[in-house]
Amino acid sequence: MIYTKQNFNNKTILITGGAGFIGSNLAFYFQQNFPNSNIIIFDCFRSELIFSNGNPQSFGHYKNLIGFKGKIICGNINNENHLKLLSDFDFDFIFHQAAISDTRVYDQTMVIETNVNSFYSLLKIAKKNNATMVYASSAATYGSLPSPQTVGKESPENPYGFSKLMMDQIAYQYSKENPEMIIVGLRYFNVYGPKEFFKEKTSSMVIQLGHQILSGNAPKLFEGSDKILRDFIYIDDVIQANIKACSSKKNGTYNIGTGTPRSFQDIADILQKELNTNFQTEYFPNPFEGYQIHTQAEISSSIKYLNFNPKITLESGIKSYITEIKLHSETQKI
């Protein structure tokens, strides 16, 4: 799918976090649609290091990149020596996705160092190369503020959300100081779709519930899940946003959601329909404090300035995704 008139052939494109969920989808998007683009992925991949919450310290996985024909640099965005490896290139576009993406990491030093400090370095590279910078922000910047979540009203409730808000503020300041640059932040809401499997426990509830059902168990949801609504967005619409951000009419931070919240119960019900099962949902108490009960992206400025047009409903997204959910359920190997 070609979303804009921008031709990425013969362009040099850096994707940080390109071994992760969204970054690897972006890499394949360019490879398939612009086969003459020069794609460079910078990612530290996963080591054996884990956080105190039991999750890997980075989720990048080589299996997300099987078939990728571009260049790969294994490096850490916190390490200036690793970043120096990027000085051999002259980038036209930078899609900065690398981050500690796990919202339940509470080591503030680590989250803020990784997500915020590195952003200064990458902005410098963008400036030096005269490259467009599109970076990942997050709906976690809003915390549990009431819907619709609107850019300009934020209240993060974890170090991750705070780090993304700081990135947005840095981007704003950098744009002011460098008005010739294109710098666009995309506040993704709840993204789901192929290549998220390796995010393990931090992957979307779509794949997690899908696997519960496929292993013959009833879907298990928090009590009141029919009233816990989120703005779930399919990966293809997130790719669309990244591409359109490159021809944004205005620098800034933009919400990337559908604008239509749906419940976790809806996810379980759609999955059961797609998988031809009829389990009775089981409910258990929600153990989390500061849990977002209702998110709904306010997307009028994303429509106006990015020409963003989310197209994929929860029903059609899950339908497109179901084959991959089944495939991973059979292998279940990390």
Catalytic residue among 29, 160, 188, 254: 160
Of residues 174 through 233, those in contact with ligand NAD by CB under 6 A are 188, 190-191, 199
Distance from CA of residue 55 to its chain's centroid?
A: 17
Which of 44, 86, 241, 268 touches ligand NAD by CB under 6 A? Answer: 44
User: For residues 49 and 177, which CB has a smaller minimum distance to ligand NAD in the complex?
Assistant: 49
User: For residues 191 and 221, which CB has a smaller minimum distance to ligand NAD in the complex?
Assistant: 191
User: For residues 272 and 295, which CB has a smaller minimum distance to ligand NAD in the complex?
Assistant: 295
Minimal distance, residue 82 CB to ligand NAD, in Å: 8
Q: Is 160 a catalytic residue?
A: yes
Minimal distance, residue 253 CB to ligand NAD, in Å: 12
d(CA 127, CA 178): 8
Which of 27, 65, 86, 136 touches ligand NAD by CB under 6 A? Answer: 136
Of 82, 77, 47, 75, nearest to 61 by C-alpha is 47
77 touching ligand NAD, by CB under 6 A: yes
Of residues 262 through 321, those in contact with ligand NAD by CB under 6 A are none
Which of 3, 14, 17, 302 touches ligand NAD by CB under 6 A? Answer: 17
Q: Phi and psi at residue 190, in whole multiples of 5°?
A: -90, 105
User: What is the chain's alpha carbon radius of gyration, rounded to the nearest angstrom?
Assistant: 19
User: For residues 82 and 127, which CB has a smaller minimum distance to ligand NAD in the complex?
Assistant: 82
Contact segment (CB under 6 A) with ligand NAD among 55-63, 239-247, 286-294, 300-308 equals 55-63
Which of 86, 100, 125, 267 touches ligand NAD by CB under 6 A? Answer: 100
C-alpha torsion sign, points 127, 186, 74, 117? positive
Q: Phi and psi at residue 114, in whole multiples of 5°?
A: -65, -50
- DSSP designation for 114: I
d(CA 280, CA 220): 9
Which of 12, 37, 138, 272 touches ligand NAD by CB under 6 A? Answer: 138
Total residues binding ligand NAD (CB under 6 A): 27
Using DSSP bridges, classify how beta strands 229-230 and 262-263 pair: parallel, antiparallel or unpaired.
antiparallel
Range list of β-strands (E), the chain = 12-16, 38-43, 71-74, 93-96, 132-138, 183-188, 190-192, 220-222, 229-230, 232-234, 252-256, 262-263, 282-284
3-state secondary structure of 300: helix
d(CA 293, CA 266): 15
Give me the residue whose beta carbon is nearest to ligand NAD: 20
Sequence-distant (≥ 6) Cβ neighbours of residue 126 within 8 angstroms:
91, 94, 132, 133, 181, 183
User: For residues 164 and 215, which CB has a smaller minimum distance to ligand NAD in the complex?
Assistant: 164
Which of 4, 31, 33, 78 touches ligand NAD by CB under 6 A? Answer: 78
Q: Give me the residues that bind ligand NAD (CB under 6 A), please.
A: 17, 19-23, 43-45, 58-60, 76-78, 97-101, 114, 136, 138, 188, 190-191, 199
Q: Which residues are catalytic?
A: 160, 199
